[in-house]
Amino acid sequence: MYTKKVKDHFMNPRNVGSIENADAQGEIGNPQCGDIMHIDIKVENGVIVDIKFQTFGCAAAIASSSIVTELVKGKTLEEAEKITNQMVADELGGLPPAKMHCSNLAADALKKAIQNYREKHPEL
C-alpha cells in the first residue's frame, strides 16, 4: 500500500519538533480524518534555513510532513511556495488515492507558515 520512501519517512521522520523563536508558524487540520500539522520556519535573507514539524496523523501525514521539510530547507520563500500537493506525493513515490489529502495538508501547512512570515514582514 505504501512505498518504501513513505515507510522510511514515517518510521524515521526528518526535522520533527519545534523551533524556539521561530520566525513563523503554519497549522492546518482535516476534520474528516483528524490529521493536524504544525510547521515552524526560520528564515534568513529570504531563505528557509530551518524547518520543523509536529504532526498528529496517519503514516501518510507524517511522511508528507517529513518530505516537505526536506524539500524546502535551504530554498527561498518563493521556491518553497511552489511546492504543490502533487509534488509532495510524487517525491514520496506516490500515495494511495485515499491518502492524497495528507500531501495536501503538508503543502498547505507550509504555505500557511510562509503566509504568516509575510504578514509579520510586509516590507519584504
Q: Catalytic pick from 102, 105, 109, 110?
A: 102
| Radius of gyration of the chain, Cα coordinates, nearest whole angstrom | 13
123 falls within a domain: no
Q: What is the pLDDT of residue 75?
A: 97
| Catalytic residue list contains 58 | no
Number of structural domains (the chain) is: 1
Instruction: Give the percent of the chain with pLDDT over 90.
Output: 76
Cα 70-74-80 angle, rounded to 5 deg = 75
Report the C-alpha gap between 83 and 88 in whole angstroms.
7
* Catalytic pick among 3, 16, 30, 33: 33
Query: 88 lies in a domain?
Result: yes
The sheet with strand 36-44 has its strands ordered as 24-29, 36-44, 47-56
Q: What is the CATH number of the domain that holds 19?
A: 3.90.1010.10
User: In terms of residue numbers, what domain contains 61?
Assistant: 4-118
Task: Name the pTM for this structure.
Answer: 0.91
Quick check: 107 and 86 in contact, CB under 8 A? no
pLDDT tens digits, one per residue of 70-121 = 999 999 999 999 999 899 999 999 988 888 777 788 899 999 999 999 999 9
